[in-house]
Amino acid sequence: MKITIFTLLFSVICMNAQDKLPYYQIPEMEENYTAQNTVGRMLDGLGFRYYWATEGLRTEDLAYQPKGEGRDCLATVTHIYDLSNMMLRLTKTTVKQTKTKEEMSFLEIRKQTLLNIETLSNVIKSTKDLVIFSVKKDGELSIPFFNVINGPIADALWHTGQLASFRRSSGNPINSKVNHFSGTVRA
């Protein structure tokens, strides 16, 4: 009996350690206001808000859709995943993804989205100049990096807010201990 309980406890601890996702809290940063750190921090804020907007979603939350036309919660989660991949493509950033979107469960999409956002934030913070992320076609600037900010980054923030609203409407609001201003969680 003792061995079985120990084995079960050990398995649970190992599974939790393997599944630790980024953005439970926003990573600490020095106050160094460069363009790269500012965009990286925007992405960290997105990651934190997305983490908590999607944490603990139930089947009924994922199926929730406001009256009228539009995406349900799961379709919105999937759209944010697509936006995170678009951000990666537009900045020429590679993240290994072992499954196609169609093969992924909600939890896998959530995890991959968080990993995509974290990787992009780290890449942007470590670059010397954001202009390297501007997309050029035939030697001409066709998509300036500003469009990545007001395009997929802003859109992902918008839709993450929708997730928070959807889950509140379906009776499962975000944890009240989450502080969106400081990017922390009260004990």
pLDDT at 8 over 60: no
pLDDT digits (tens, 9 = 90+) for 164-183: 999 999 999 999 999 999 99
pLDDT at 147 over 50: yes
Tokens 């990993």 locate to 115
Determine the average pLDDT of the residues in 33-52.
Answer: 97
CA–CA distance from 36 to each of 33, 51, 109, 129, 134 (Å)? 8, 22, 27, 7, 14
pLDDT digits (tens, 9 = 90+) for 150-164: 999 999 999 999 999
- Chain mean pLDDT for the chain: 89
Contact 179, 48 (CB under 8 A): no
User: How many domains does the chain contain in total?
Assistant: 1
CA–CA distance from 135 to each of 50, 143, 160 (Å)? 27, 5, 26
Instruction: Give the CATH number of the domain where residue 147 resides.
Output: 1.20.120
Enumerate residues 6+ apart whose C-beta is below 8 A from 25: 48, 183, 184, 185
Domain that holds residue 84: 2-185
Q: Which among 171, 175, 158, 174 is positioned nearest to 70, based on CA atoms?
A: 158
Single pTM value for the model: 0.87
Enumerate residues 6+ apart whose C-beta is below 8 A from 15: none
Contact 170, 60 (CB under 8 A): yes
pLDDT digits (tens, 9 = 90+) for 98-136: 999 999 999 999 999 999 999 999 999 999 999 888 877
Determine the average pLDDT of the residues in 14-38.
Answer: 82
- Its sign, for the CA torsion 17, 161, 38, 184, is negative
Structure confidence at residue 15 as a pLDDT band (50, 70, 90): very low
What percentage of the chain carries pLDDT values higher than 90?
76
